[in-house]
Structure 1
Amino acid sequence: MEKSVQVCVTGGAGYIASFLIKHLLERGYTVHATLRSLSHASKVGLLKGLDHAETRLKLFEGDIYNPTEFAAAIHGCEFVFHVATPLQHDGGQYKSTSEAAVAAVKIIAESCLKSKTVKKLIYTASVVAASPSKSDASGYEDTMDESCWTPLDLSYEMFSDYINSKTLAEKEILSYNGLGIEVVSLACGLVGGETIQSFLSVSMSTLISQALSDGTFYKGLRALEDLDSKVPIAHIQDVIDAHIFAMENSDMNGRFLVASDFLKSVEIASLIMKHYPDITILPGFIEDTKRETKWSSKKLEELGFHYKFDADKIIYDSIACAKRLGAI
């Protein structure tokens, strides 16, 4: 059905954001999407090539390192999806990605309040901020759920800047919940399945790194496994549906973990070989941690959300996508 509702999506050309914009346009929403630069032809072309983009998509410049730019895109919107996140430090006025991410969250939240139109701010968070690691580094809690926050006083071999950035930014944005706007934080697992981009995202490359025989991405997979005890995973379509569910469910606010499955990396390897016996996974890419931490996040499903894709389908679709793009 045609909707007159305007929504804003930051980081519009990213893996999750571009898929989200596609589905919002298909559902009839008018979308304000931000890009770091409107002179980037391939990113602009990706979004302008979407169905209904000609009539219901408007592009704005918006850079995490210059967050006052986001106000123009937010103006007149009822819902804001803050998906953009800094992966590498660009210097400038901030000392780190964490400082930049937190400053951007504050300015975006304040822009939502000043707009007088925004009802809900939905933040695309990450499970790197939800580690069940015990703060004394003695192991893991028995379960992983929304009460878990990654201890920032521990040292991490990989992603330390990203872990700090996503953890601090998520806590900051949740502090605005109920202060004139509702805030939803969706801490997403490793996302795979499909893409509208012309290349594999870092997330999907990490998820199927064993099939790619890519040592760098596999190191990232194992680092996430060590951080969260196992690897939370989700299909891109379920992630998008969760974002739209958060927007359309007026009773929903606060923090939610988004993952349909919680697997050891050795179990991911088994699923790859099960569905694609033509793919050989080298011995160095198969390690069993023997960990038995349980996934106990039910908050999203208790509100009526249903995951449509299980681990088998996530892995099957991810490998199929990699083959389609020539990565395998």
Structure 2
Amino acid sequence: MSQLSFQPAYDAEKALQPATVCVTGVTGFVAGSVVSRLLELGHTVHGTCRDPSRTDTVAHLTSLPGAAERLKLFKADLLSEGSFDEPVRGCDYVIHTASPFIMDVPEAEVQAKLLGPAVKGTEHVLSAASKSPSVKRVVLTSSCAAIYGDPWEFGKDHVYTEADWNPTATAKVLPYYYSKKLAEQKAWEMSKAQSQWTLVVINPAAILGPPLSKRTDSESISLLNQILKGRAYPACPHMGFGAVDVRDVAAAHTLAMSDPKAEGRYICVAKSMLMCDMARAIKAGFPNSKFRTPIATAPKWLLSIIGPAVGMPRDLITYALGKCPQFNNSKIQSELGFKFHSPEAAIKDQVDAMLALGIAKPF
């Protein structure tokens, strides 16, 4: 299924003349769908990754329709000052998706593996945008992790909006969340210090849906795979999260790039789900399978075993246990006319793709 058949082009996307767009971190889960959509819309893409010569990591991109004519790959590193100058040069837009996505990092490695690359990478990409007079707008992939840490930190009934910033995360507590907050704050700081380009930020939560490649950085791929393998059987942790289809996230980026009205931050969440809802979606999508999906919610005493087994850091369990954040997603819908798809359908498509790519195995 193509990006545009799943999420048809919006009027603002159709109205935008073919442009040159730099997409950072093109081998990532979100970036793959962004590149696919940009090529379908007729744009030229300058994609950055660590090693364009590694065909095993870029073949799914170079085989996309339009890639032979309009996709050029560049080597760039988040920590290398100036490495984004060449790929950004001459571009009309920059979509910055590249950032470390590691939920469980030893404390001694947080600065080197998370905070440094996230913040310095943002600084280097936006500096490159300022060096290229052609750049009109930067779209940054942030996260709802920059918006909240403890789902109930502002009270049990609080509904998160674009005005909220995560007050809980630090370098020692939920460090991945902290990296997203610091990187986005750095982007806004740099945006306000210049007048050449505008900044629009997309804040998704848990991103679901089909990967384009078996080599993906998606935590949802890892989480679903652990569930499919029976690591959460017979019971899963009682905790929730915002959920959104990766194809919707891609469309949010390209629409934010295209629409002159787009401004500020946009929460990109279709709805909130509990982990048991995810398990039920797998069961409903594959009723005849032998996947050992959870059939109950785990008592608290089991979480110290089950949580880490499905890839959840202990601090995430500590703050998220028994809670589910709620989000107001009306801004992107009212300002940009955006429409969300079902996360349950995204889970079905994701498992189908994982099976087809060999990421998951049928049982």
295-304 or 6-15: which moved more? 295-304
Determine the structure 2 residue equivalent to 1:309.
Answer: 341
Measured at CA, do residues 83 and 134 of structure 1 come closer, stay the same or move farther in structure 2, by a change above 3 Å?
Answer: closer
Pick from 244, 256, 259: which aligns with 2:254?
Answer: 244
* Corresponding residue for residue 351 of structure 2: 319
Match of 1:110, SS state, is helix
Give the number of the structure with larger relative contact order, counting CA–CA contacts within 8 Å between residues 6 or more apart. 2
| TM-superposition CA deviations, 1:217-269 (whole Å, max 9, x none) | x99xx6xx86xxx3111111111111111011112121111111111112222
Aligned pair 1:277/2:254, yes or no?
A: no
Shift in Å, 1:47: 2.3
Change (3 A) 1:193 1:49: same
- Distance between the aligned counterparts of 1:32 and 1:154, measured in 2? 34
C-alpha distance 143-112 of structure 1, shift in aligned 2 (>3 A): same
Structure 2 vs 1, CA of residues 318 and 256 (structure 1 numbering), >3 Å: closer, same or farther? same
Number of the residue aligned with 1:198: 214
The one of 271, 281, 285 equivalent to 1:261 is: 271
Give distance in 2, aligned partners of 1:68 and 1:166: 22
Give the deviation of 1:287 after TM superposition.
Answer: 6.5
Q: TM-score, normalised by structure 2?
A: 0.76
The equivalent residue for 1:30 is 44
What amino acid maps onto 1:100 in structure 2? Answer: P
Kindly state the Cα deviation for residue 205 of structure 1 after the two structures are TM-superposed. 2.9
Which residue of structure 1 lines up, in the alignment, with residue 187 of structure 2? 173
> In structure 2, which of residues 163, 179, 190 is the aligned counterpart of residue 147 of structure 1?
163
Q: Runs of 5+ in structure 2 lacking a partner?
A: 1-13, 301-320
- Structure 2: distance between partners of 1:325 and 1:311: 20
**% of aligned pairs identical?**
24
Indicate conservation of the 8 Å contact 2:188/2:199, yes or no.
yes
Task: Give the letter aligned to residue 38 of structure 1.
Answer: P
User: Is 2:134 the counterpart of 1:117?
Assistant: yes
Tell which deviates more after alignment, 183-192 or 37-46.
Answer: 37-46
The letter of the residue matching 2:118 is: A
1:306 to partner: Cα distance: 2.9
Q: From the superposition, tell whether residues 286 and 302 of structure 1 become closer, same or farther in structure 2 (CA, over 3 Å).
A: farther
* Contact 2:100–2:118 (8 Å) recurs in 1: yes
CA 154–36 in structure 1, closer or farther in 2 if over 3 Å, else same: closer
Query: Normalising by the residue count of structure 1, what TM-score does the alignment of the two structures yield?
Result: 0.84
Structure 2: which amino acid aligns with 1:81? I
Query: Contact 1:144–1:296 (CA<8 Å) still a contact in 2?
Result: yes
Equivalent-residue separation in structure 2 for 1:40 and 1:116 (angstroms): 31
CA contact (8 A) 1:132 1:143 kept: no
Following superposition, the deviation at residue 151 of structure 1 comes to 2.1
5+ residue gaps, structure 1 = none
Amino acid at match of 1:231: F
Quickly say closer, same or farther: Cα 1:287–1:68, change in 2 above 3 A: farther
* 2:203 counterpart residue number: 187
CA change 1:307–1:205 in 2 (3 A) is farther
Q: How big is each residue's C-alpha offset from its partner over 1:167-210, in whole Å with a ceiling of 9 and x where there is no partner?
A: 10011112233532211111112112212113564323325643
- Structure 1 residue identity aligned to 2:268: V
Q: Is the 8 A contact 1:11 1:17 kept in 2?
A: yes
Partner of residue 330 from structure 2, selected from 279, 287, 298: 298
Contact 2:211/2:354 (CA < 8 Å) preserved in 1? no
